[in-house]
């Protein structure tokens, strides 16, 4: 039987992407109910849902709902996650899980006590190009990993009432909203991080959160990482690039970081030889790799459903939750580094 899902915060990313691309096409879930304080009748009509609510507590109380997907502003996540868990619902929450580490850890403890699935939304991990890049790294195609770079930027000017531009509502700016995905991806590829340095600033827009952030990561295996996230680069100019380098070559992905399920993946391989003073760039072998595409939202939703039904072990959900909490810990460490102008271990 498909898992009956309710969506809290059915506007925004849920309406644009997760419901039409992830929930509606899947045979593993059913869209049982939707909730949003604004325009809920139109949302319900768009997706043919009869059970619609303007208050979160009414959807959570709906006995026909087995699991909830939370896609509300960040400052609401912790309260809504706890309410869903207390009602015995399984929960998939968009990042961040909370605004502090205390909120994240209390949510995990509540889910463990209740015996329900709790996951954090990092849909970019499900991109077929990212999965293939991970496979290539594990096969030794890069040799020793030495450097990774992940970028996610957009143009986000001052907007009256925008919660992402209020630190009390969003927990941060470009780094918390977008850079967290990049940090999670580099950790997915290269493993655990042991040290963080960062600069976060507002240099363009004047709102009280960062519109520019650069983070340097030091991984336990010795590799280094760079994450750049900006709210002040035009969308048409944004490259949103992913670059992974090692002693035997490089992996380059274009168009894979973001809300899309498409993109291009290229492997550059070079047999390591002696030192070349001329540093010739020709002669490397470049191979475009085209893995079978998957929709990242559907893959994420179906992973959540499989953890609920037992098609996947609960350990898969626990691993996702641990990754989500760790990514937030690293973002908060980056903000601390920026404030103190020191590396944070």
Is the peptide bond prior to 96 cis by the omega test (within 30 degrees of 0)? Answer: yes
Task: Please indicate, yes or no, if residue 69 is contained in any of the structural domains.
Answer: yes
Question: Per-residue DSSP letters for 125-140?
Answer: GG-HHHHHHHHHHHHT
Q: 249 — alpha (psi -120 to 50), left (phi > 0) or beta?
A: left
Residues 18 and 34 in one domain: yes
In 3-state terms, what secondary structure has residue 209? Answer: coil
Does residue 243 share a domain with residue 304?
Answer: no
> Which pairing describes strands 212-219 and 193-201: parallel, antiparallel, or unpaired?
antiparallel
At 277 the pLDDT is 60
Domain boundaries, position 16: 3-121+299-309
Whether residue 143 is found in the same domain as residue 91: no
Mark whether 109 and 254 lie in a shared domain. no
Q: Are residues 95 and 36 in the same domain?
A: yes
Residue 319 falls within a domain, yes or no?
no
Encode the chain (345 residues) as per-residue pLDDT tens digits: 999 999 999 999 999 999 999 999 999 999 999 999 999 999 999 999 999 999 999 999 999 999 999 999 999 999 999 999 999 999 999 999 999 999 999 999 999 999 999 999 999 999 999 999 999 999 999 999 999 999 999 999 999 999 999 999 999 999 999 999 999 999 999 999 999 999 999 999 999 999 999 999 999 999 999 999 999 999 999 999 999 999 999 999 999 999 999 999 999 997 665 656 656 666 568 999 999 999 999 999 999 999 999 999 999 999 999 999 999 999 999 999 999 999 999
Residue 333's alpha-carbon distances to 180, 181, 192, in angstroms, are 12, 15, 14
Torsion (CA) 277, 282, 283, 286 in degrees, nearest 10: 130
157 belongs to a structural domain: yes
Question: Do 286 and 304 have their domain in common?
Answer: no
Q: Say yes or no: 115 and 139 in one domain.
A: no
Nearest to 186 by CA among 151, 235, 232: 151
88 and 175 assigned to the same domain:
no
Q: What pLDDT is recorded for position 274?
A: 60
Claim to verify: residue 82 and residue 230 sit in the same structural domain: no
pTM of the model as a whole: 0.95
Which residues, listed in sequence order, are joined to residue 253 by a DSSP beta bridge?
Answer: 242, 265
**Is 334 inside any structural domain?**
no
Tell me what pLDDT residue 13 has.
97
Q: With respect to residue 327, please indicate whether it lies within any of the assigned structural domains.
A: no
Q: Are residues 74 and 206 in the same domain?
A: no
Q: How high is the pLDDT of residue 270?
A: 79
User: Rounded to 5 degrees, what are φ and ψ at 71?
Assistant: -135, 45
Tell me how many degrees the CA angle 161-300-181 measures, rounded to the nearest 5: 55
Say which CATH number the domain at 183 has.
3.30.360.10
CATH of the domain at 54: 3.40.50.720
Asked if the structure places residue 256 within a domain, the reply is yes
Residues 153 and 93 occupy one common structural domain: no
How many domains would you assign to the chain? Answer: 2
Whether 321 is in a domain gets the answer no
Same domain, 146 and 221: yes
For residue 5, the cross-strand partners are: 31, 67
- In this structure, the strands spanning 90-94 and 51-53 are unpaired
| Angle (deg, nearest 10), helices 101-114 and 314-340 | 170
Q: State how far the Cα of 169 lies from the Cα of 165, in Å rounded to an integer.
A: 8
The torsion region of residue 140 among left (phi > 0), alpha (psi -120 to 50) and beta comes to left
| Inside any domain, residue 226 | yes
DSSP secondary structure letter of residue 98: -
How many Cα atoms occupy the beta-carbon half-sphere of 249 within 13 Å? Answer: 20
Q: Which letter, b or e, does each residue of 143-164 get, where b requires 16 or more Cβ atoms within 10 Å of its Cβ?
A: eebbbbbbbbbbbbeeeeeeeb
Q: What pLDDT sits at residue 285?
A: 84
Rounded to the nearest 10 degrees, how much is the dihedral formed by the CA atoms of 177, 74, 119, 42? -100
């Amino acid at each position: 039987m498909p898992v009956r899902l309710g969506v809290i915060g059915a506007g925004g990313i849920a309406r644009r992407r997760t419901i039409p691309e992830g929930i509606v096409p899947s045979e593993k879930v059913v869209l049982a109910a939707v909730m949003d304080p604004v325009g809920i009748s139109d949302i319900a009509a768009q997706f043919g849902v009869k059970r619609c609510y303007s208050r979160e507590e009414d959807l959570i109380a709906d006995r026909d709902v087995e699991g909830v997907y939370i896609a509300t502003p960040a400052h609401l996540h912790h309260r809504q996650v706890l309410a869903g868990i207390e009602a015995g619902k399984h929960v998939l929450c968009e990042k961040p899980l909370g605004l502090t580490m205390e909120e994240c850890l209390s949510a995990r403890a509540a889910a463990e006590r209740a015996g329900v699935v709790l996951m954090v939304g990092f849909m970019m991990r499900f991109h077929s190009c990212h999965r293939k890049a991970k496979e290539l790294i594990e096969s030794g195609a890069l040799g020793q990993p030495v450097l990774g770079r992940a970028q996610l930027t957009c143009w986000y000017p001052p907007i009256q009432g925008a919660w992402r531009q209020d630190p009390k509502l969003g927990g941060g700016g470009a780094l918390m909203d977008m850079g967290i995905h990049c940090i999670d991806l580099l950790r997915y590829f290269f493993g655990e991080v042991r040290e963080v340095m960062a600069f976060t600033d507002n240099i363009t827009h004047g709102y009280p959160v960062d519109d520019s952030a650069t983070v340097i990561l030091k991984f336990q295996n010795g590799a280094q990482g760079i994450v750049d996230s900006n709210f002040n680069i035009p969308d048409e100019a944004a490259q949103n690039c992913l670059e992974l380098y090692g002693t035997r070559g490089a992996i380059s992905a274009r168009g894979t970081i973001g809300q899309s399920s498409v993109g291009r993946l290229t492997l550059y391989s070079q047999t390591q030889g002696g030192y070349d003073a001329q540093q010739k760039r020709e002669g490397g072998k470049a191979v475009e790799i085209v893995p079978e595409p998957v929709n990242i939202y559907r893959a994420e939703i179906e992973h959540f459903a499989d953890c609920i039904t037992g098609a996947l072990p609960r350990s898969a959900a626990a691993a996702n939750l641990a990754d989500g909490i760790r990514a937030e810990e690293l973002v908060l460490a980056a903000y601390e580094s920026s404030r103190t102008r020191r590396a944070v271990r």
